[in-house]
Amino acid sequence: MNDKTGLHIKEDEKHILLDHAYDGIQELNNPLPSWWKLTFYLGIIFGIIYIILYLVMGAPSLRDEFKKEWTVIESIQEKFKKEHGAFDEVKFLAILKDDGVKKGQIVFETNCVPCHKEKGIGDIGPNLTDEYWINSKGTPATNFPVVFNGVPDKGMPTWSQTLSNDEIYQAVAYVQTLHNTHQPGGKAPQGNKVEDEVKQ
Protein backbone atom coordinates (compact mmCIF):
# COMPACT_ATOMS: atom_id res chain seq x y z
CA MET A 1 0.00 0.00 0.00
CA ASN A 2 1.13 3.54 -0.75
CA ASP A 3 1.66 5.51 2.49
CA LYS A 4 0.53 8.88 1.11
CA THR A 5 -2.37 7.97 -1.15
CA GLY A 6 -3.59 4.88 0.65
CA LEU A 7 -4.01 3.23 -2.77
CA HIS A 8 -2.94 -0.28 -3.57
CA ILE A 9 -0.97 -1.29 -6.59
CA LYS A 10 -2.68 -4.38 -7.86
CA GLU A 11 -0.72 -7.47 -8.70
CA ASP A 12 -1.38 -7.24 -12.45
CA GLU A 13 -0.31 -3.60 -12.49
CA LYS A 14 3.17 -4.26 -11.20
CA HIS A 15 4.63 -4.61 -14.69
CA ILE A 16 3.54 -1.07 -15.61
CA LEU A 17 4.84 0.51 -12.41
CA LEU A 18 7.51 3.07 -13.17
CA ASP A 19 10.77 2.85 -11.43
CA HIS A 20 10.58 6.03 -9.42
CA ALA A 21 8.68 7.68 -6.59
CA TYR A 22 8.26 11.39 -5.94
CA ASP A 23 7.40 12.33 -2.39
CA GLY A 24 6.29 8.79 -2.01
CA ILE A 25 3.97 8.97 -4.99
CA GLN A 26 4.42 6.17 -7.52
CA GLU A 27 3.32 6.21 -11.10
CA LEU A 28 1.78 3.61 -13.38
CA ASN A 29 2.58 3.75 -17.07
CA ASN A 30 -1.00 3.37 -18.32
CA PRO A 31 -1.48 3.65 -22.08
CA LEU A 32 -3.38 6.68 -23.37
CA PRO A 33 -7.06 5.97 -24.07
CA SER A 34 -7.63 4.95 -27.67
CA TRP A 35 -10.25 7.71 -28.30
CA TRP A 36 -7.60 10.25 -27.29
CA LYS A 37 -5.00 8.77 -29.62
CA LEU A 38 -7.54 8.63 -32.43
CA THR A 39 -8.32 12.37 -32.20
CA PHE A 40 -4.59 13.08 -32.03
CA TYR A 41 -3.90 11.11 -35.23
CA LEU A 42 -6.94 12.56 -36.95
CA GLY A 43 -5.59 16.02 -36.05
CA ILE A 44 -2.29 15.20 -37.73
CA ILE A 45 -4.02 13.84 -40.84
CA PHE A 46 -6.24 16.95 -41.00
CA GLY A 47 -3.16 19.18 -40.67
CA ILE A 48 -1.36 17.42 -43.52
CA ILE A 49 -4.40 17.58 -45.82
CA TYR A 50 -4.90 21.26 -44.89
CA ILE A 51 -1.29 22.18 -45.66
CA ILE A 52 -1.36 20.31 -48.98
CA LEU A 53 -4.70 21.86 -50.02
CA TYR A 54 -4.03 25.45 -49.03
CA LEU A 55 -0.26 25.90 -49.17
CA VAL A 56 0.63 23.52 -52.01
CA MET A 57 -2.44 23.22 -54.23
CA GLY A 58 -3.62 26.81 -53.67
CA ALA A 59 -7.23 26.22 -52.58
CA PRO A 60 -9.16 29.52 -52.27
CA SER A 61 -8.52 31.47 -49.09
CA LEU A 62 -11.29 33.13 -47.08
CA ARG A 63 -10.38 36.38 -48.84
CA ASP A 64 -10.79 34.73 -52.29
CA GLU A 65 -14.13 33.22 -51.28
CA PHE A 66 -15.28 36.61 -50.00
CA LYS A 67 -14.27 38.28 -53.28
CA LYS A 68 -16.22 35.66 -55.23
CA GLU A 69 -19.33 36.14 -53.11
CA TRP A 70 -18.92 39.91 -53.30
CA THR A 71 -18.99 39.79 -57.12
CA VAL A 72 -22.27 37.89 -56.90
CA ILE A 73 -23.67 40.55 -54.53
CA GLU A 74 -22.49 43.31 -56.87
CA SER A 75 -24.14 41.69 -59.87
CA ILE A 76 -27.41 41.38 -57.91
CA GLN A 77 -27.12 45.07 -56.95
CA GLU A 78 -26.46 46.02 -60.57
CA LYS A 79 -29.50 44.04 -61.71
CA PHE A 80 -31.61 45.71 -59.02
CA LYS A 81 -30.34 49.14 -60.11
CA LYS A 82 -31.18 48.42 -63.73
CA GLU A 83 -34.68 47.24 -62.85
CA HIS A 84 -35.61 49.87 -60.29
CA GLY A 85 -33.05 52.68 -60.41
CA ALA A 86 -34.47 54.51 -63.43
CA PHE A 87 -37.15 57.12 -62.80
CA ASP A 88 -40.54 55.92 -63.99
CA GLU A 89 -42.86 58.84 -64.67
CA VAL A 90 -46.00 56.66 -64.72
CA LYS A 91 -45.12 55.12 -61.38
CA PHE A 92 -44.37 58.56 -59.92
CA LEU A 93 -47.79 59.87 -60.96
CA ALA A 94 -49.46 56.78 -59.46
CA ILE A 95 -47.55 57.36 -56.20
CA LEU A 96 -48.62 61.04 -56.20
CA LYS A 97 -52.26 60.00 -56.59
CA ASP A 98 -51.91 57.52 -53.75
CA ASP A 99 -51.24 60.22 -51.12
CA GLY A 100 -47.56 60.16 -52.11
CA VAL A 101 -46.71 63.58 -50.68
CA LYS A 102 -48.24 62.84 -47.27
CA LYS A 103 -46.56 59.42 -47.10
CA GLY A 104 -43.34 61.02 -48.35
CA GLN A 105 -43.44 63.52 -45.50
CA ILE A 106 -43.42 60.62 -43.03
CA VAL A 107 -40.54 58.96 -44.89
CA PHE A 108 -38.69 62.27 -44.91
CA GLU A 109 -39.27 62.99 -41.23
CA THR A 110 -38.15 59.49 -40.29
CA ASN A 111 -35.06 59.24 -42.49
CA CYS A 112 -33.96 62.53 -43.97
CA VAL A 113 -34.49 65.12 -41.23
CA PRO A 114 -31.26 64.26 -39.36
CA CYS A 115 -29.28 65.75 -42.27
CA HIS A 116 -31.73 67.90 -44.25
CA LYS A 117 -33.65 69.24 -41.21
CA GLU A 118 -37.40 69.85 -40.86
CA LYS A 119 -38.90 71.08 -44.13
CA GLY A 120 -35.56 70.41 -45.85
CA ILE A 121 -33.84 73.65 -44.79
CA GLY A 122 -30.48 71.85 -44.82
CA ASP A 123 -27.74 71.11 -42.32
CA ILE A 124 -25.33 68.28 -43.15
CA GLY A 125 -27.25 67.86 -46.39
CA PRO A 126 -27.98 70.81 -48.68
CA ASN A 127 -30.99 73.10 -48.47
CA LEU A 128 -33.81 71.53 -50.51
CA THR A 129 -35.99 74.65 -50.40
CA ASP A 130 -33.96 76.88 -52.73
CA GLU A 131 -33.31 76.81 -56.45
CA TYR A 132 -29.71 75.60 -56.16
CA TRP A 133 -28.92 71.95 -56.75
CA ILE A 134 -25.59 70.08 -56.61
CA ASN A 135 -26.46 66.73 -58.18
CA SER A 136 -29.78 67.27 -59.84
CA LYS A 137 -31.95 69.85 -61.55
CA GLY A 138 -34.45 69.80 -58.73
CA THR A 139 -37.00 67.78 -60.70
CA PRO A 140 -38.38 64.45 -59.48
CA ALA A 141 -36.72 62.70 -62.44
CA THR A 142 -33.29 64.08 -61.48
CA ASN A 143 -33.74 63.84 -57.69
CA PHE A 144 -34.86 60.22 -57.85
CA PRO A 145 -31.46 58.74 -58.85
CA VAL A 146 -29.70 60.89 -56.21
CA VAL A 147 -31.91 59.47 -53.48
CA PHE A 148 -31.84 55.94 -54.96
CA ASN A 149 -28.04 55.76 -55.39
CA GLY A 150 -27.02 58.36 -52.80
CA VAL A 151 -23.75 60.23 -52.98
CA PRO A 152 -21.81 58.00 -50.59
CA ASP A 153 -18.56 60.01 -50.90
CA LYS A 154 -20.35 63.19 -49.81
CA GLY A 155 -22.42 61.66 -47.01
CA MET A 156 -25.77 61.14 -48.76
CA PRO A 157 -26.75 57.51 -48.06
CA THR A 158 -27.77 55.02 -50.77
CA TRP A 159 -31.46 54.82 -49.91
CA SER A 160 -32.21 51.86 -52.18
CA GLN A 161 -30.44 49.78 -49.53
CA THR A 162 -32.86 50.79 -46.77
CA LEU A 163 -36.07 52.12 -48.27
CA SER A 164 -38.51 50.42 -50.62
CA ASN A 165 -38.85 51.82 -54.11
CA ASP A 166 -42.28 53.23 -53.24
CA GLU A 167 -40.82 55.02 -50.21
CA ILE A 168 -38.12 56.58 -52.40
CA TYR A 169 -40.76 57.84 -54.85
CA GLN A 170 -42.80 59.18 -51.92
CA ALA A 171 -39.76 60.97 -50.41
CA VAL A 172 -39.00 62.48 -53.83
CA ALA A 173 -42.64 63.61 -54.10
CA TYR A 174 -42.39 65.34 -50.73
CA VAL A 175 -39.03 66.94 -51.60
CA GLN A 176 -40.76 68.38 -54.67
CA THR A 177 -43.22 70.29 -52.47
CA LEU A 178 -40.31 71.89 -50.58
CA HIS A 179 -38.58 73.04 -53.72
CA ASN A 180 -38.44 76.84 -53.99
CA THR A 181 -40.35 77.42 -50.75
CA HIS A 182 -37.34 79.30 -49.30
CA GLN A 183 -37.98 78.28 -45.71
CA PRO A 184 -36.59 80.67 -43.09
CA GLY A 185 -33.25 79.74 -41.48
CA GLY A 186 -32.22 77.72 -44.51
CA LYS A 187 -28.65 76.69 -45.27
CA ALA A 188 -26.76 78.87 -47.76
CA PRO A 189 -27.22 77.77 -51.39
CA GLN A 190 -24.93 75.08 -52.78
CA GLY A 191 -24.47 73.96 -56.36
CA ASN A 192 -25.89 75.46 -59.51
CA LYS A 193 -28.89 77.71 -59.87
CA VAL A 194 -31.66 75.98 -61.79
CA GLU A 195 -33.66 78.55 -63.72
CA ASP A 196 -36.37 76.52 -65.40
CA GLU A 197 -37.80 74.45 -62.61
CA VAL A 198 -40.48 71.97 -63.36
CA LYS A 199 -43.09 72.15 -60.61
CA GLN A 200 -44.99 68.96 -60.06
- Cβ proximity to ligand HEC, 26 vs 87, nearer residue: 87
Piece of 48-56, 74-82, 90-98, 133-141 that binds ligand HEC (CB under 6 A): 133-141
What's the min distance (Å) between Cβ of 198 and ligand HEC? Answer: 14
Among 100, 125, 140, 186, which residue interacts with ligand HEC (rule: CB under 6 A)?
125
Among 4, 79, 102, 154, which residue interacts with ligand HEC (rule: CB under 6 A)?
154
Check binding of 96 to ligand HEC (CB under 6 A): no
Half-sphere exposure of 25 (CA within 13 A, CB side): 4
Check binding of 100 to ligand HEC (CB under 6 A): no
Asked whether 168 and 87 are in contact (CB, 8 A), the reply is: no
Asked whether 3 and 24 are in contact (CB, 8 A), the reply is: yes
Buried residues in 38-70 as b, exposed as e (16+ CB within 10 A): eeeeeeeeeeeeeeeeeeeeeeeeeeeeeeeee
Check binding of 102 to ligand HEC (CB under 6 A): no
Asked whether 183 and 120 are in contact (CB, 8 A), the reply is: yes
Give the interface with ligand HEC as residue ranges (CB under 6 A): 108, 111-112, 114-116, 124-126, 128, 133-136, 143, 146-147, 151, 154-157, 159, 171, 175, 191
